[in-house]
A = this chain, B = another copy of it.
Amino acid sequence: MNKVAIIGVGHTKFGRLEGKGLLDILCEASLEAIEDSNTSDKDFDSVYVGAMSPEAYNHLSGVASALVDRISLLPAAADHIKNGPASGGSAVKNGFQAIASGMSDLVLVVGGEKMTHITKPGYITSNVATLTHHQAERPHGVSLPSFAGLLTRIYLKKYNAKLDWLSDIAIKNHRNGALNPKAHFQKTIEDFMKSAIQKGKGNWDNIYDFLNDNTTNPIIADPLRLYHICPISDGAAALVLCNADSAKEYCDTPILISGIGQATDTHIIFEREDITTLRALRICSEQAYKMAKKNPEDMDVAELHDAFEILEAVQSEDIGFFKKGEGAKAAHGGLTEIGGKIPINPSGGLKARGHPLGATGVAQVVELIWQLRGEAGKRQVSGAETGITCNFGGFGNNIISILVERI
């Protein structure tokens, strides 16, 4: 199997990108990655686009072929991977396999979504709910936020954890996001509280009081409140991959993709033995560690899929960083902060960087590349040499882990 290196990255600002279309932002991230990889004069063999719903959100099909033409990569092969919120990770995996197999030498992977222009109430939540089970779940009106609420209740009870510990994850991720110029939110939750006080909306002794106030932080999916849930965002992120043997021709600091895993769990969540365990993550992260000959203890940094803050807690356990039931407590204890035992989501995560569905799995890898190159600025994890991601599709029935390390 050919070894595969990442030689360039691109990342638009995430957030409300007004006046731009999906193809515009895919182009922007792609061209940035191509420039970063010094391959502007090279012929790309293939292009992978990860995007969940360009058809429903942007009235576009064939986005991968359209992109290839628009950024003048003709006649490169073009594939669109539509794999739910794991579309980005899936695109990285398939781009990896294109090079690992020897079918391609130079590959562009880009993930993106343009969603904030959609004004019809409930349209996005309903569309995302097409991921739930058609017969066993959807007729009951469940959506992904409602699953997250139920999971939170069970987790808090089973492991004697506190909702405030999940708030700690949101607080951390907003602090990190405020250090990431590409993040959707550039403010900490402390900033939001100060601003609310200044505007006379209330007065709170501490941040937990602010976060438990129904006015400033309403319940969305009981017990989860607004600040426990990621926003709807626009954005795109891109990677240039090549055979690791020729990576140093293009850049001084290529990063190796040394492990990839992907696994599926039951579609119907009720059928899982233990809803608080993400079996697909256990399996796919083990695959990635095994392939890279690494252990969870070897990881210096991780980007997890905190679409809901409960997920970061659970994922931090199932990816091997903490024992079952101790993820939320570990976050509360500061172990996942930059400078902690295992920094999680230095980018700000989905909570603060934002969650343009198809972009997320790629953006997670981009953040790790910045960290491993030592280019993460104020949120740099000191001396980071290896990192891992969790890109989460459906409600944990499709999970991908990508492990990267310095060469």
Contacts and interface: CB of A to CB of B under 8 A. Distances in A.
Given A59-B130, A61-B84, A100-B101, A267 B70 contact: yes
B53 A53 contact: no
Contacts of A397: 62, 65-66, 69
Given A69-B267, A100-B102, A94 B79 contact: yes
Contacts of A266: 69, 74
A77 interface: yes
B75 A280 contact: yes
A404 to B, nearest CB: 16
A369 interface: no
A258 B53 CA distance: 34
A264 B74 contact: yes
A81 interface: yes
A14 B94 CA distance: 29
A101 to B, nearest CB: 4
Which of A66, A78, A82, A93 counts the most B-chain CB atoms under 10 A from its CB? A82
A75 B263 contact: yes
Contacts of A260: 103
A182 interface: no
Nearest to A90: B79
Nearest to A82: B82
Contacts of A400: 77
Contacts of A82: 61, 80-82
Contacts of A73: 264
A211 to B, nearest CB: 32
Which of A94, A260, A280 counts the most B-chain CB atoms under 10 A from its CB? A94
A398 B64 contact: yes
Nearest to A280: B75
A384 to B, nearest CB: 26
29 contacts: A1-B101, A1-B102, A52-B61, A55-B127, A56-B56, A60-B130, A60-B134, A61-B82, A65-B267, A65-B393, A66-B267, A69-B265, A73-B264, A74-B265, A76-B263, A77-B284, A78-B83, A79-B81, A79-B90, A79-B93, A80-B81, A81-B81, A96-B101, A96-B103, A97-B100, A97-B101, A100-B101, A100-B102, A100-B103
Interface string A268-293: 10000000000110011000000000
A52 B63 CA distance: 12
A194 to B, nearest CB: 40
Contacts of A96: 101, 103
A400 B103 CA distance: 14
Contacts of A64: 83, 398
Kindly list the 6 A-B residue pairs having the minimum CB-CB distance in the complex, ordered from nearest: A77-B262, A100-B101, A101-B101, A82-B82, A75-B263, A65-B398
Given A69-B266, A397-B69, A131 B62 contact: yes
A366 B155 CA distance: 48
Interface in A37-72: 46, 52-53, 55-56, 59-62, 64-66, 68-70
A400 B75 CA distance: 12
Which of A83, A98, A127, A131 counts the most B-chain CB atoms under 10 A from its CB? A83
A394 interface: yes
A133 interface: yes
B130 A61 contact: yes
Contacts of A103: 1, 96-97, 100, 260
A31 B94 CA distance: 24
Nearest to A103: B97
B264 A65 contact: yes
B62 A398 contact: yes
Interface string A237-251: 000000000000000
A268 to B, nearest CB: 8
Interface in A105-136: 127-128, 130-131, 133-134
